[in-house]
Amino acid sequence: MTDLVSDAVAELYQLDPDEFMARRKDLAEAARAAGDPAAARQITGLRKPTRSAWVVNRLVRADPDVSPRLAALAGELRDAERSRQGARIRELSAARARLVDELTRQALSELPAPPAALREDVTATLDAAIADPEVAASLGTLVRAAHWAGFGLNLDGLPVPVPAPEPAKTKKPAPPEPSAERERRHREKIILAEREVADADGALDAATVEEQRLEDTVRRLETDLAEARQRLAEARRQAYRAESRQRRASVALSRLSHE
């Protein structure tokens, strides 16, 4: 990764998501102007994070102790699970909950009234970073919130091995294709692969935009709900005061009527 790309990554994944796209375009244009089209392509390929992913990225980049603390606890938990130390696992699980809660509060400390959905995504991502080394490795450049759906921890961080296919029966080798035909087929495969990448990029962009839109909608609805609850509480107070006033007026009227 060139310095231009590294600098762009460091800047973009700390930047508010609402400013990401415009700034990414500026940085890609600056890389092209500097005579580095490869860096420009890499910068253009950087994906906009959701707000919850941005909150975690900003935390990790602002506090260099976050990732080592998560990694240290993950290592202790893996050792305890491998050796089946029940008491130690329970002790470390409690420590895990405390650490995730502490880092979640730290990550959200500068945001005014963060919605519950945002808090849940940040908590889930930090918890997943302890459970899964792949999530831990992506901290700082997350594109979306992570959720660990397994049981316990991913003890080795590697995919489950797939059995090797049975060897195919020996066939009589086909005659070699002419060089021009091989080249033509190779170009066709490249074109198809480029189309697949472009389609996948478009689908990812659309999914990310929709995820961000829904996240914004949830945040707006939660804000509206909080305001509605405040208005309801005030209406209840006013109703209680009016009811008290009505009772006092009724008592006064009753007394006057009997005089």
Q: How far apart are CA 124 and CA 144, in angstroms?
A: 11
Are the C-beta atoms of residues 96 and 130 closer than 8 Å to each other? yes
Does 43 fall in a domain?
yes
Does 42 fall in a domain?
yes
pLDDT tens digit sequence for 161-193: 333 444 555 556 666 657 767 776 766 676 666
Q: How far apart are the first and last CA of the chain?
A: 95
Are the C-beta atoms of residues 96 and 73 closer than 8 Å to each other? yes
pLDDT tens digit sequence for 22-58: 999 999 999 999 999 999 999 999 999 999 999 999 9
The neighbour count for residue 125, using CB atoms within 10 Å, is 28
- Domain limit, last residue, from 124, 158, 192: 158
Residue 224, both tokens: 């509206």
Residue 133, both tokens: 């080394």
Does 163 fall in a domain?
no
Q: How far apart are CA 138 and CA 122, in angstroms?
A: 14
- Domain match, 72 and 8 both: no
Does 254 fall in a domain?
yes
- Domain match, 138 and 182 both: no
Closest CA to 107 of 147, 139, 152: 139
Number of domains in the chain: 3
Are the C-beta atoms of residues 153 and 81 closer than 8 Å to each other? yes
- Domain match, 218 and 231 both: yes
Indicate the burial class of 40 (C-beta count within 10 angstroms; 0-12, 13-18, 19 or more): buried
Amino acid at 40: A
Residue 171, both tokens: 């066939």
The neighbour count for residue 46, using CB atoms within 10 Å, is 18
pLDDT tens digit sequence for 87-133: 899 999 999 999 999 999 999 998 988 899 999 999 999 999 999 99
- Domain match, 151 and 182 both: no
Closest CA to 205 of 68, 74, 29, 49: 49
DSSP state of 50: P
Q: How far apart are CA 124 and CA 142, in angstroms?
A: 13
Does 147 fall in a domain?
yes
Dihedral, CA of residue 95, residue 99, residue 102 and residue 105, to nearest 10: -130
* pLDDT greater than 60 at residue 21: yes
Helices 51-62 and 179-257 cross at an angle (nearest 10°) of 100
Does 171 fall in a domain?
no
Does 169 fall in a domain?
no
- Domain match, 54 and 141 both: yes
- Domain match, 184 and 100 both: no
Does 67 fall in a domain?
yes
Nearest-Å Rg of the Cα atoms of the chain is 29
Please report the pLDDT score of residue 162 as a whole number. Answer: 36
Please report the pLDDT score of residue 163 as a whole number. Answer: 39
- Domain match, 153 and 186 both: no
Domain that holds residue 186: 178-259
Q: Report the pLDDT averaged over residues 61-89.
A: 93
